[in-house]
Amino acid sequence: MHLVLASTSPYRAALLEKLAIPFAADAPETDESQRDGEDAASLVKRLSAAKARAVGARHPNALVIGSDQVATIGAQVLGKPGDRERAIEQLCRASGRAVVFYTGLCLLNTTTGHTQVDVETFTVRFRELGADQIERYVDLEQPFNCAGSFKSEGFGITLFSAFEGRDPNSLVGLPLMRLVEMLAAEGIEIP
């Protein structure tokens, strides 16, 4: 049985490489739109499972990992900004506040159909940031494809005052601690 990451994210692939097990990556090509009335936890659970199923259909006899992430301020879901203006807007809203990240994780065994789905949360507390600081950061790191408009593994660390959560890897997009537990349930022990 081989391991497949249902993602083309270089960040998720780099995290999975930490476990030192061989894997392939495959693009899930799923609609990531939020449904009316869908909260952040429900959204990432649904999308992580949908990604795993989409890729799993092409990979028999595999364990497929699906993951999805959104950031929230209060009940408002922040997606990937896509451009400079939206990134600046998101970071201005985050300044001095707590941003909660919801990361959905699914492990699908395509041989048995057994599916494990969970959500990990991680909170980032932002420092009070000035407009100049935010613009310099966005121009330096260009975090346009990152939920919440920052890269914690890069220069984004300078924006925060505190972290709260079980697994810092979930902030980057793949909760490795929970994944190791899911893999153990499928008979794969790491290390």
Do the Cβ atoms of 61 and 1 come closer than 8 Å?
A: yes
Strand partners for 99:
124
The two tokens of residue 120 are 């990990």
Angle subtended at Cα 76 by Cα 9 and Cα 134, rounded to the nearest 5 degrees: 65
Instruction: State the Cα–Cα distance between residues 49 and 67, nearest whole angstrom.
Output: 8
Q: Cα 181–176–108 angle (5° rounding)?
A: 60
Q: Examine the residue annotation and report whether 68 is marked as an active-site residue of this protein.
A: yes
Strand 62-73 relative to strand 98-109: parallel, antiparallel, unpaired? antiparallel
Burial status of residue 7 (CB atoms within 10 A of its CB: 0-12, 13-18, 19 or more): buried
26, 36, 68, 83: the catalytic one is 68
Dihedral sign from CA coordinates of 9, 10, 11, 15: positive
Which residues are marked as active site? 68
